[in-house]
Structure 1
Amino acid sequence: MCGCTGETPAPPSPSPSTTTTTPPAPATGLTGIPATGGIGVTALLPTGPTLFDADRGPTATPPGYPGGLGVLRVGEQAVLTAYPAGAGHNDPFEMFAYTGASNPPRSLGRAWSVVPGADQESAWLIRQDAPDSCRLQRVSLSGEELGHGQSASCRTEVRAETSHGLLIRINSGSPESTDALIDPETGRTVRQYPRILGATGDWLLLDGFTDLRLLNLRDGSTKPLTRPASGGGPPTVVPSRDGRVFAVDFADPSYRGPRQSRDIWLLSPDTQAWEHAPGMPFITDHLKQGGGIDWSEAGDLVLADGVLAAWHPGEPRWRLGKATLPDGEWNGIAVLP
């Protein structure tokens, strides 16, 4: 009776964890506005390496470092990755701790992968001891080994440390790779899944290939998520510094041929709500080189894509730096004080 005599009811509002199924067409280039007085972001770039002010350009080139390939922030410091002199692409990297523009580099030795320690004052390495022998080792940024380490395959990749354990990828680079959260002191497996996209606080973000799931490490429960309407591939996940939000970049390195696209969303594990970053998706030339994502101490998401851009969740648009980033085969940024 009501359906016959009343007006047609409005469709229900989508829940915070659902989105439309058709991705929007990407724009060309990142859009935003130049911030009055600048955006106030300084990042360490692996090329050089170079301290780069978003509005003034390069401000310092710390001496004594080889040309870098990547950089990873560790608290208010960083670790740089480079090929050792004379080494090939099938050899482990040389790791250097960066502790200031005027300080000489501190070698952390040769290793296949590195991630920050949960204390943000140390790092975990898959360190090579012999041609076919590697170990999982925690080190301070002064180069001191902390603990005895654990024997590990050289094909293991360290990815993140949380209060619940160390996230690793087993058989990294092969079709048989799988992800696990382990106790780094004993090597005991806490959780294992085919693909763990990210870890922060009490949460793991799991890739179910057709959908996403959140695993609560406190009680073992899982919550299904609808994958956002994005045309990108397997996402890159970067937790915020306070661990409350995942930045999820559905990047596509071959969008409709030689072009590249990126599409950044935020996910709150506590509410399972998605927030689409403004200006997304967009076509870019900097996905494979000359790009990166990090979070600032003020809670801004900082994106390197031609320029440095900052966005605070909830703002209507990106704030764009004035200085053009250098070209080159580098990737990754570390936002520093």
Structure 2
Amino acid sequence: MQQRKLGSTGLVVGAIGLGCMGMSFAYNQSRRDDRESVAVINKAIDEGITLIDTADVYGPFTNEALVGRAIRDRRDEIVLASKCGLVVRDGEIVPSGHPDYIRQAVSGSLYRLGVDVIDLYQLHRVDPAIPLAETWGAMAELVQSGLVRAIGMSEADVAQLDTAHAIHPVATVQTELSLWSRDVLAEVLPWCRANGAGFIAYSPLGRGFLAGALAEAEDLEDTDWRRGNPRFQPEAVRENQRLVRIVRSVAERKGVTPAQVALAWVLAVGDDVVPIPGTTRLSHLADNIAAQDVRLTEEDLAELTVIADQVVGSRY
């Protein structure tokens, strides 16, 4: 596995990480298999994937426990990332940034993960009801107390990043980045590069869509989170199939899979970008890892560039 630096944190990780959310949360609930998920995590580590990403809200709580079981005897082989800042309240997922919650959340995460320290602890979302300085100050205290090694932010804008960074370095920024979600290229990624922050790209396969895994919205289970996402509404799914056809055309020309092309594009954005595709299957894991060897030509990139302008449906 090729290696990449997470900004100026001093952390070096495999060029491709592993997002564990789908093992316990949001997608395909009837097809979950904890034993296979544990096998996927261990196989990923065997193959050189070192950034393992989870969060307390995934489940909630069950995903951290699952990851904890998988890494029990392999703690020193990975860079462990988790998140706080989203909670389930009255059946809805909402931001929570009160300092008291932050302190309680890290204790729970450490317990479920079965570790003494979390390498990267991320604020999942900024809570508009709490001054960011108070939330980030509590996150900084966790570093000072030795409970976490570095702190990052997820889905933050440049103004929020500036506010936090003035209090304590923002080690990483995690935001969606894929062929059909490129918003961060305008301001957030340049901010990261100017301020020494690593960039972690979640949903690099467009929540599975760019891999050609979904023909109709009706193929999704009723409880699948994507059912409520604008890009996965029936008409949007039908219209967005033309994007998949573009990816598939490039893939066929190169003799690889659509997923590998989509992931190779994210890797090509820069050596400071670490995508964390999620999977629950060993076969998909192998496919993702092989993407690091796919080289996109100028012709490929030009063909893929048009996708961003043709997407039907907003990110959320």
- TM-score using structure 2 length: 0.31
Decide which structure has greater strand share: 1
Larger radius of gyration: 1
Decide which structure has greater helix share: 2
Higher RCO (CA 8 Å, separation ≥ 6 residues):
2
